[in-house]
Chains A and B, each alone.
Chain A
């Protein structure tokens, strides 16, 4: 009798386990399944920080369903918002929250799918790895012109910055240097990736980049004692943080809606985490 009950119990347990596995795997497969049978083109542009995630997501979607074509361009948050507002693209990415004026003018719907930080970076060979906010403001305004004044070698500081369309720049300007001046002698680079390559090849450069992009080719600089890492952004210890937004004009539908939902799906969120951002879920 006991043996029979035991056997029934085992069967029940394994049934339940099997069921739950299928449920879980259906959810996982379902992240991409939503794209089954879809056709058409999806145009995305905007924030350069988002690009690694966009590229990987499109790769998976396009491999899964070859009838879908996804076009990805950069340009910066400003361009993303402007182009989606004008109807030139379906999704405009931005690394900053669109302003109220932009939301009103273009009837934007915002979707924040990850959190990122903006960190100051220098070349890994540079000895200066920590700065105070006051020093940062002075460096970027040009007041402090030589690394020697802050404990480095006797070489002039090469400041690198982004153009006005950049959301990364916007967040840096507002939160890190309190809307201070950026010297007009600063070199301009066009994206987060470009900032990274510039700093990694210039031993005397200083710039700012999305925390998710920081790797061994650049060295993060601690601001008032807090190093810009993912952990610190998550714990709100590092204050210079921003959301990664994907914006659409009006309510998204069809392919656009599915893409945005994919970004929020477990697979999509795992993708963001893999690329170095903090998923919102």
Chain B
């Protein structure tokens, strides 16, 4: 018996170490393959230069701007929407409708991103093009709108769970004082669960920055630094998908690893921020 026990423990441990090493390996590959970029400090330069392959300049600054603007705008659209919906589900809406909304949202988490991109191309892009009368419709605005819908279900469920964790005595207290539902949300639930809300927000930001298909299909992929939300833009993720076709000995291809490193660092930063909020949360409990 003891032998099996020890063997099993080792087996589980090996599995965990294997998984951990995958994380490290991914980063390692990016760094090793992108190594030529680090020589001579090119990496830092790349972060601020525009993308002009014909002139031998392979800066990824436009793509960084693209990723940030699309992700932040998408988050800007999604955040109020999700707050409203989760408030509806938890408190403000009639119980049955709230449950229907929650079920719908749960099923929505299963909708593939490529479907959003597909519908976006044929439904949203022409509408944006006609309504704003400028540009091709393939722009930051369209991408952010679709992205907002993509990240909403997860955010709503997350917020909902945070709202549900408010201790019942608090809610009862509001009722005892004669408060109504809106007051409950505004003055008790939201302040109490702000950490959960923040965590959900940050995780959604990570998801938004890491999405590839919607940006690839709908954002236009121009290499210029976008001036307005109606401009075509390219994200780091779409850039990887597009340049993968290039010669992989070339400097052009190596910039993909720079993109990968930056995205990886964004991810790590997000994981760390969530962690720091959460630990305070749990310590309080």
Contacts and interface: CB of A to CB of B under 8 A. Distances in A.
A187 B245 contact: no
Interface in B84-100: none
Interface stretch (B101-109, B128-136, B183-191): B128-136
A188 B247 contact: no
Interface in B206-262: 220-224, 231-232, 234, 242-243, 245-248, 252
Contact of B245 (A78, A183, A184, A198): A78
Interface stretch (A27-35, A90-98, A157-165): A157-165
B120 interface: no
B224 A188 contact: no
B70 interface: no
A198 B232 CA distance: 14
Given A156-B134, A202-B136, A82 B248 contact: yes
B220 A184 contact: no
A165 B244 CA distance: 10
B224 A185 contact: yes
A164 B221 contact: no
Contacts of A201: 122, 125-126
A155 interface: yes
A201 B125 CA distance: 10
A185 B222 contact: yes
Interface string A54-88: 00000000000000000000011011001000000
Given A156-B135, A163-B242, A184 B224 contact: yes
B41 interface: no
Q: Is the interface of B mostly helix, strand, loop or mixed?
A: loop
Contacts of B126: 201
B245 A76 contact: yes
Contact of B246 (A164, A184, A187, A204): A164
A78 B222 contact: no
Nearest to A102: B247
A101 to B, nearest CB: 11
A158 B136 contact: yes
Nearest to A181: B54
B37 interface: no
A184 B242 contact: no
Given A185-B231, A201-B126, A202-B136, A163 B222 contact: no
A205 interface: yes
A78 B243 CA distance: 11
Contacts of A255: none
Contacts of A186: 222
A184 B50 contact: yes
Interface in B132-182: 133-138
B245 A188 contact: no
A190 interface: yes
Nearest to B129: A202
Contacts of B138: 187
B53 A187 contact: no
Residue among B220, B242, B252 facing the most chain A CB atoms (10 A cut-off):
B220
Contact of B232 (A155, A164, A185): A185
Interface of B: 50-53, 122, 125-126, 129, 133-138, 220-224, 231-232, 234, 242-243, 245-248, 252
Closest 8 pairs (CB-CB, A-B) = A184-B224, A188-B221, A158-B136, A165-B245, A187-B220, A79-B245, A185-B224, A75-B245
17 contacts: A78-B245, A78-B246, A78-B247, A82-B247, A82-B248, A163-B242, A164-B246, A164-B252, A165-B246, A184-B50, A184-B52, A184-B224, A187-B221, A187-B222, A198-B136, A201-B125, A202-B137
Given A186-B222, A188-B220, A201-B125, 20 more contacts: A78-B245, A78-B246, A82-B247, A82-B248, A156-B134, A158-B136, A163-B243, A165-B246, A184-B52, A184-B222, A185-B222, A185-B224, A185-B232, A188-B221, A188-B222, A198-B136, A201-B126, A202-B129, A202-B136, A205-B136
